[in-house]
Amino acid sequence: MTDLAGVTASTGMAQAGSVSRMAEPAPALQAQCLSVTRGQGAQARQALREISLSLAAGRWTAVVGPNGAGKSTLLQCLAGLLPHQGQVHLLGRPLAEWPLRERARRLSWLGQEGGTPQDLSAWDVVMLGRLPHQDWLAPPSPKDHAAVTQALQATQAWDSRERPVGQLSAGERQRVLLARALAVDAEVLLMDEPLVNLDPPHQVDWIALVRELVARGKTVVSVLHEVGVALQAQDLVVMAGGQVTHQGACEDPQTHRALEAVFDHRIAVRSLDGQWLALPRVGR
């Protein structure tokens, strides 16, 4: 005789499990067999070597590794800025299938400085981040003005809003470029060395800002040379030689070991006051 209660219970559990799996959000970004070759002929070299990884939505992931590891190249591929082999998915959809305008609303990019007209005011530079939201030749809307104001204030760049970026210090200019990336109000933010030229207080402000973005459901992926700051993230991607050598939570001891190894054990990961630090090992 069939146990209807057992069948019903097991069916219900299966359906619940199915619903649970369906309810899981797609990763913010995925890479499948991602490869990049730079140069030609005898000068050709592989900058990325068949990288496959998944970056969780609603989290802060830091990408670290020695010089030449392929960190910036990986980020440029995830942003769709560099030709590559393999596939990139944004929010569960192949990057190549996103209309450019819609993709620009969903994914914001902060690259290493370059190409910003020096005579534009800081306000106008940050307003460029609102272009994906504006109709062709339409003037900025009140929502655009509000987004630019909020971004300038969040990066402590408000007082520089009327100054040409060419007259700003390197640190002031970096905060303006960060504000431009924030003004997009995208779901996913990719930042390549966002702390360059920022002094320690502004680096602390940047960490607080990223945590606030993540608390609001945004996804942040940042390439960082500042290993101690990278350890404040939630997840770490460790790279060397164009490959991912480790991916894991920042508090995981395996992540600490992978981080120390990729820098030839010249650093040591230690805990102080509830935070992870990367200390130099001098005299080895």
Task: State phi, psi for 186 to the nearest 5 degrees.
Answer: -85, 160
Q: How far is CA 50 from CA 11, 30, 55, in A?
A: 41, 13, 16
> Which residue, 196, 189, 179, is CA-closest to 62?
189
pLDDT tens per residue across span 206-227: 999 999 999 999 999 999 999 9
Domain boundaries, the chain: 28-37+44-91+187-196+216-284
Evaluate the CA torsion angle 126, 128, 134, 135 in order and state its sign: positive
At residue 18 the predicted structure's pLDDT band, cuts being 50, 70 and 90, is very low
Residue percentage of the chain with pLDDT more than 90: 80
* pLDDT at residue 42, rounded to an integer: 73
pLDDT tens per residue across span 41-56: 777 788 999 999 999 9
As beta bridge partners, residue 237 has 63, 247
Q: Which CATH superfamily is domain 28-37+44-91+187-196+216-284 in?
A: P-loop containing nucleotide triphosphate hydrolases (3.40.50.300)
Round the average pLDDT of the chain to a whole number and report it.
89
Task: State phi, psi for 24 to the nearest 5 degrees.
Answer: -65, 130
Q: How far is CA 190 from the centre of its chain?
A: 3
pLDDT tens per residue across span 135-186: 888 899 999 999 999 999 999 999 999 999 999 999 999 999 999 999 999 9
pTM: 0.88
- Are the C-beta atoms of residues 239 and 64 closer than 8 Å to each other? yes
Query: How far is it between the farthest Cα atoms of the chain?
Result: 85
pLDDT tens per residue across span 63-98: 999 999 999 999 999 999 999 999 999 999 999 999
